[in-house]
């Protein structure tokens, strides 16, 4: 709403504000609006307007309203209608006076065209309307405002093609993830997408498999000699002369400790142990083993504390730990107490936990020991 100055020839007004109306073709005010009456001799005709009930009313006289001294007399010319409820200020009439009007959520601003560069706004506008030359009103073209994406073509696809098309539109998620989202009701508006159709027609795609390959591919930096490679690699030293060359490599300490537990041994030892906790210290490449009577939280905490204390006493205090994807709450509290950051490896990805390789090494050594023993009691 515009606030009108009280500087005209009429002294008492109840409508000191007017509505800024982009749909009004002219300034239409009430008898209680601040105004300066224009002599009848200076006005050729008085306009008539149509009300919402299709009745016509005619202006009683013409006047100028005190909007701003920056506007010309033509831009402030208004017509008084005694029967209208609120005075209306036409934005179109103001813009015809070489002005630009900016509407925001809170305010409305009117500037002269010379004080604003409209191109900086037109380049960023996502919705632009045109002004009708006859009615002087701004309009939006609703027919062309939505791009022709031809989304209705999905209704012409076969069901299997439709499911795969929708799957690609979702960037090829796994089948289980999509089915769970359908169960949660996220695709109730998608044509043809329901649990039965997706479960029946969706097959594994290459894009889905490639999007979930997190492990190192095969033959990456392979040292295997191909059959078509006729070159031979000679790894034998050709010179027997001694040198004084010293090679130095700087290695950053990680403080990483990897742990894992073995499965149950077929025979319980004479000390009541049936499991082992195996730890691999990355910086020293040391394998530490502690026996376990069971995989209870008490025994796991005791075995881990023994390994930690041994490394701490040797001057290699761990700072982070990597373990299997199963970890007890008690162990996590112990890690927090010793200020250890821990990481759980993904399921079925044993290469990330170096303790798995240490367990394999221990199995190899035990297999050799078993072959040297005549009876199983000798190693109890």
Q: What residues does 204 pair with on adjacent strands?
A: none
Which two tokens mark 377?
A: 């009691």
| Residue 294: DSSP 8-state | -
% residues pLDDT > 70 (the chain)? 82
CB 62 within 8 A of CB 114: no
- Residues 2, 86: contact at Cβ < 8 Å? no
Q: What is the pLDDT of residues 146-183, one digit of tens each?
A: 555 445 565 678 889 899 988 888 888 889 989 999 99
| Pairing verdict, β 17-21 and 341-344 | unpaired
Q: What is the pLDDT of residue 141?
A: 85
Of the ranges 10-24, 140-154, 261-275, 288-302, which one carries the lowest mean pLDDT score? 140-154
For 7, other C-beta atoms within 10 Å of its C-beta total 8
The model's confidence at residue 232, banded by pLDDT at 50, 70 and 90, is low
| Whole-angstrom distance, CA of residue 33 vs CA of residue 65 | 8
Residues ≥6 apart with Cβ < 8 Å to 278: 259, 260, 261, 262, 287, 288, 289, 355, 358, 359, 362
Residue 280 class from Cβ within 10 Å (0-12 exposed, 13-18 middle, 19+ buried)? buried
pTM, 2 dp? 0.37
Site of tokens 């209608």: 81
As a whole number, the mean pLDDT across the chain is 82
Q: Are 294 and 287 in contact (CB under 8 A)?
A: no
Tokens 């033509």 appear where?
74
Give the whole-angstrom CA distance, residue 145 versus residue 148: 9
Q: Could you please report the per-residue DSSP string of 64-131? A: E--S-TTS-HHHHEEEE-TT-SS-EEEHHHHHTTTEEEEE-SS-EEEEEGGG--THHHHTT-S---EE
Model confidence at 17: pLDDT above 70: yes
Domain ranges of the chain: 2-119, 169-211, 256-372
Residue 60 to residue 84: CA distance in whole angstroms: 12
* 275 contacts 303 by C-beta, under 8 angstroms: no
How confident is the model at residue 215, as a pLDDT?
64
Structural tokens at position 315: 């001057």
| Backbone φ, ψ for residue 91 (5° rounding) | -70, -35
The CA-to-CA distance between both ends of the chain, in Å, stands at 95
Indicate the CATH number of 256-372 among 3.30.1370.60, 3.30.420.10, 3.30.43.10, 3.40.50.300: 3.30.420.10
Give Cα 242 to chain centroid, integer Å.
61
Q: Taking a C-beta distance cutoff of 8 angstroms, is the pair 287, 309 a contact?
A: no
**Block residue for tokens 């509407």:** 103
Count of all residues that appear for the chain in the document: 380
Tokens of 281: 């210290």
* pLDDT > 80? residue 210: no
Q: Where are the beta strands (DSSP E) in 246-292?
A: 256-261, 275-281, 286-292
Query: Which carries the bigger pLDDT value, residue 154 or residue 81?
Result: 81
How distant, in Å, are the alpha carbons of 25, 59, 89, 370 from that of 96?
Answer: 11, 22, 13, 102
Contact 366, 267 (CB under 8 A): no
| Distance of alpha carbon 296 from alpha carbon 365, whole angstroms | 26
Per DSSP, 319 falls in state S
Give the number of other CB atoms < 10 A from CB of residue 232: 6
CATH topology of domain 2-119: Cathepsin D, subunit A; domain 1 (2.40.70)
pLDDT at 154: 59
235, 332 contact by CB (below 8 A) = no
Model pLDDT for residues 31-77, shown as the tens digit of each residue = 888 989 999 888 888 988 887 788 888 999 999 999 999 999 999 99
Of residues 292 and 375, more confidence is placed in 292
């Amino acid at each position: 709403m515009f606030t009108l100055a009280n500087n005209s020839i009429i002294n008492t007004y109840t409508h000191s504000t007017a509505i800024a109306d982009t749909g009004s073709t002219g300034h239409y005010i009430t008898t209680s609006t601040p105004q300066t009456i224009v002599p009848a001799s200076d006005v050729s005709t008085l306009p008539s307007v149509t009300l919402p009930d299709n009745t016509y009313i005619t202006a009683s006289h013409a006047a100028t309203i005190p909007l701003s001294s920056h506007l010309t007399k033509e831009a402030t010319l208004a017509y008084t209608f005694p029967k209208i409820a609120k005075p209306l200020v036409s934005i179109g009439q103001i813009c015809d006076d070489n002005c630009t009007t900016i509407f925001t959520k809170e305010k409305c601003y009117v500037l002269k065209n010379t004080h604003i560069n409209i191109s900086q706004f037109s380049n960023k506008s996502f919705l632009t309307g045109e002004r009708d030359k006859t009615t002087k009103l701004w309009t939006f073209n609703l027919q062309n405002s939505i791009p022709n994406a031809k989304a209705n073509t999905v209704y012409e696809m076969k069901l299997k093609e439709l499911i795969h098309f929708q799957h690609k539109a979702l960037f090829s998620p796994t089948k289980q993830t999509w089915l769970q989202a359908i169960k949660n009701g996220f695709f109730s508006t998608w044509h043809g997408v329901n649990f039965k159709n997706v479960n029946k027609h969706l097959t594994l795609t290459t894009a889905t498999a490639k999007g979930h390959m997190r492990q190192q591919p095969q033959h990456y930096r392979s040292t295997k000699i191909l059959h078509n490679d006729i070159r031979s690699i000679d790894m034998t030293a050709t010179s027997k002369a001694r040198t004084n060359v010293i090679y130095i490599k700087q290695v950053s300490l990680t403080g990483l400790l990897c742990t894992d537990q073995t499965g149950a041994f077929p025979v319980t030892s004479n000390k009541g142990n049936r499991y082992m906790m195996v730890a691999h210290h990355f910086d020293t490449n040391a394998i530490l083993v502690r026996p376990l009577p069971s995989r209870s939280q008490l025994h796991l905490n005791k075995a881990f504390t023994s390994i930690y204390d041994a490394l701490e006493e040797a001057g290699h205090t761990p700072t982070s730990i990597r373990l299997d994807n199963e970890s007890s709450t008690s162990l996590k509290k112990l890690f927090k107490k010793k200020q250890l950051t821990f990481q759980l490896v993904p399921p079925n990805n044993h290469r990330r936990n170096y303790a798995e390789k240490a367990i394999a090494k221990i199995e190899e050594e035990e297999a050799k020991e078993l072959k040297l023993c005549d009876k199983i009691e000798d190693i109890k």
